[in-house]
Structure 1
Amino acid sequence: MKKAAALLFLFSLAAMAVPAAIVLLFSQNSGRQQPALQAGKALPQAAVEKDRPPAVTVAVYRSAQGKTDHVALDDYLAGVVASEMPATFHLEALKAQALAARTYIIGRIIDNPTAAVTDTVQNQVYKSRQDLEKIWGKDYGRRMAKVEAAVSQTENEVITYRGKLITPVFFSTSNGQTENAADYWTADVPYLRSVPSPWDKLSPKYKTEKTLAAAEVEHALHVKPGGGSGELGKVIRRTATHHIAVYRIAGRDFTGREIREKLNLASTDFQLIRNGGRIIATMSGSGHDVGMSQYGADGMAGEGKNAAQIAAYYYRGTSISRMTVTADHAVAIN
């Protein structure tokens, strides 16, 4: 959802409507569970509690192993939250990440129940408990307990805009302001509008530097800017959030997104300086900067904001709704 969201963004928007035929529990702006609907018929709450539906599983293609695992939904969410956000973050930030992860995967299940998702940034990064135990070592128990709490304390909760699941894009660190979706992907999305994110300035990824070979830059951009030293190209236009909108090199114009992706830069707020055969890229922020800033979420949590407040801040005009999808009806989409 950080890097590959641009490829899936417009497709995902069309997939977020909630079909009425799916078994769901949906109550806008409410923390109280409402009666479920099954094929259009109301079920008593007691029946819902007594006859719990079979667990939903997620088909996850494990890229390293070359196989597909079927993972229980809550286990999948725990693996995503643990992989996408540092477990050392405040609990409310992890809960905001859990909300985003659940919203995304429920949308995928509704759209195509049998399709597998990858365990990479193409969808959401996912690591199994065994993977995480190897990575975390002696800290595994404590960190996993915190991640599981983030998932369980947001059970059945998703982020919606006007009754529909959102595309919950997120990223690591902004340059101090998140970006408008229209300025990065060209499509305007009302809940993906720029907001100040001053907490990001405390992120270790707020200011970064990368050195590239001049030949590498020339090959990636198909330009020949010449030799010498000094700024490589120039900024033609910036967005309102100081991200680069148009950048010119050797008479050719690129979008900031094109430069970032072709050169694998951290952000679209960058400066390129040539020093002989090297290009020094200095960047502010890390990610596409659209949607929820993870370091911003942790900063807000540190100030006492809860997960719902964090989600509402970064996804403008959204609400927390409650939804469940059962295994048998998730495939029966009308």
Structure 2
Amino acid sequence: MMNKFQPLVWIVLTVFIVILVVPSILVASFSNNTKQNIVSSSKQNSVTSIDNNESKNDKNSPEPSMEVSVYRTNTKEIENIPLEEYVVGVVASEMPVTFELEALKAQSLAARTFLVKQMLSNSKINLPDGTDITDNIQYHQVYKNKKELANEWGEDYKSNISKIQKAVNATKGQILTYDEKPIDASFFSASNGYTENSEDYWGNKTPYLKSVESPWDIESPKFQYQTTIQVSRFEELLGIKLNNDVNIGMVISKSKGNRIKLFEINDKKYSGKTIRDKLKLNSSDFKFKREGSKVVITTKGNGHGVGMSQYGANGLAQEGKNYKDIVNYYYQDVTISSVEPFINKMYVKK
């Protein structure tokens, strides 16, 4: 038989349980929701961080702003130009726009590297105050601005500049390095069939500037070139007196690149480079022949021959090689690197 107090006891117990259990359920629910919110927020922050990193590595993201001060030889003025715009002006001026796109990419990589090395150099020879580089082909790189190119190309300007811009954009922010330093990215028009060891032409041995075969250069209109000079002028420039022999001088030694290292005329010896410079020849692979009051000069190749041959680059591109293949053929054991680590150093130099 149920005690009359039992219902009251059950009511009290029920109320007591409700008081204890319900707050615990609410707290647990709130805690779980809070944890979910924190996890959700953390995931969102993580995604944002990844997106930011991808943005930094995006090739289309803007490169660090850097201006180049170019001394214009003809106007004797200084033009301040964004780095990549400068590269466009060099590639358009130094390599025929009709060349393959991959060859133009290789040229843009060489031009940008040449600039960076120049800007980091302590040498200011032939460099006016307040400038980074000149447009003088003898010392630096040829450069033309877009207005000059428009005048030169006329109705073809739009298509030509678009092609050059595409090549430069493909290598944007890239330079060539050796031992983590920008290389001397020397280039020239066409070889005599071989490029030249740096030490055979300039005297300084550079590990990445070695002689290689370059058979594609035969396509150059100046692969073999003939010109004449008056005997009197020939004698004046070289400081000698010729006899009446048809054949002039004798080759003492040749380089690995088949250019003349040492040449003798009437017991006087000259380096091939000296004769090329004094007579303003296309190449140091030359032959002389006297015809009456004139000297007939035959040369093979067009340029100093050290580094990348432009006609060779185009030939490789026509065979399906890309710009990386091209630069690694003409510059041995080099690395394609980002220009960013050198930007601050260039600012300090400026």
Please give the TM-score of this superposition, normalised by the length of structure 1: 0.82
1:110 shift after superposition:
3.1
Structure 2 match to 1:164 = 181
| Deviation digits for residues 154-207 of structure 1 (CA, Å, limit 9, x no counterpart) | 011111112211000011110101010010011111100000001011211100
User: 2:339 & 2:175 partners in 1: Cα distance?
Assistant: 7
Cα RMSD (Å): 2.2
**Partner SS state of residue 297, structure 1:** helix
| Residue 169 of structure 2 corresponds to residue 152 of structure 1 | yes
- The question of whether the paired residues in 2 share the 8 Å contact of 1:68 and 1:116 is answered with no
1:111 shift after superposition:
3.5
Structure 1 match to 2:36 = none
- The question of whether the paired residues in 2 share the 8 Å contact of 1:83 and 1:126 is answered with yes
User: 1:317 & 1:102 partners in 2: Cα distance?
Assistant: 18
More helix by share: 2
| Residue 61 of structure 2 corresponds to residue 45 of structure 1 | no
Change (3 A) 1:108 1:237: closer
| Residue 250 of structure 2 corresponds to residue 234 of structure 1 | yes
Q: Which runs of 5+ in 2 are unaligned?
A: 1-51, 125-129
**Partner SS state of residue 347, structure 2:** coil
| Deviation digits for residues 212-239 of structure 1 (CA, Å, limit 9, x no counterpart) | 111111111100022x251111111111
User: 1:53 & 1:332 partners in 2: Cα distance?
Assistant: 18
Q: Tell me the matched-pair count.
A: 290
Aligned pairs for 1:50-199 within 5 A = 55-111=65-121, 115-121=131-137, 122-199=139-216
**Partner SS state of residue 201, structure 1:** helix
Range with greater deviation from structure 2 (53-62 or 295-304): 53-62
| Deviation digits for residues 115-160 of structure 1 (CA, Å, limit 9, x no counterpart) | 3311121211000001011111111111111100111000111111
User: 1:234 & 1:99 partners in 2: Cα distance?
Assistant: 40
Structure 1 match to 2:297 = 281
| Deviation digits for residues 269-298 of structure 1 (CA, Å, limit 9, x no counterpart) | 110111121011000101110000000000
Structure 1 match to 2:35 = none
- The question of whether the paired residues in 2 share the 8 Å contact of 1:171 and 1:291 is answered with yes
| Deviation digits for residues 69-128 of structure 1 (CA, Å, limit 9, x no counterpart) | 101111110000000000110000000000001111122233469533111212110000
Q: Which has the bigger relative contact order, CA under 8 A and spacing at least 6?
A: 1
- The question of whether the paired residues in 2 share the 8 Å contact of 1:54 and 1:328 is answered with no
Change (3 A) 1:182 1:330: closer
Structure 1 match to 2:238 = 221
1:324 shift after superposition:
2.2
Q: Which runs of 5+ in 1 are unaligned?
A: 1-43
Match for residue 316 of structure 2 among 294, 300, 307: 300
Range with greater deviation from structure 2 (81-90 or 238-247): 238-247
User: 1:89 & 1:53 partners in 2: Cα distance?
Assistant: 27
| Deviation digits for residues 17-44 of structure 1 (CA, Å, limit 9, x no counterpart) | xxxxxxxxxxxxxxxxxxxxxxxxxxx7
Change (3 A) 1:309 1:259: same
User: 1:177 & 1:154 partners in 2: Cα distance?
Assistant: 27
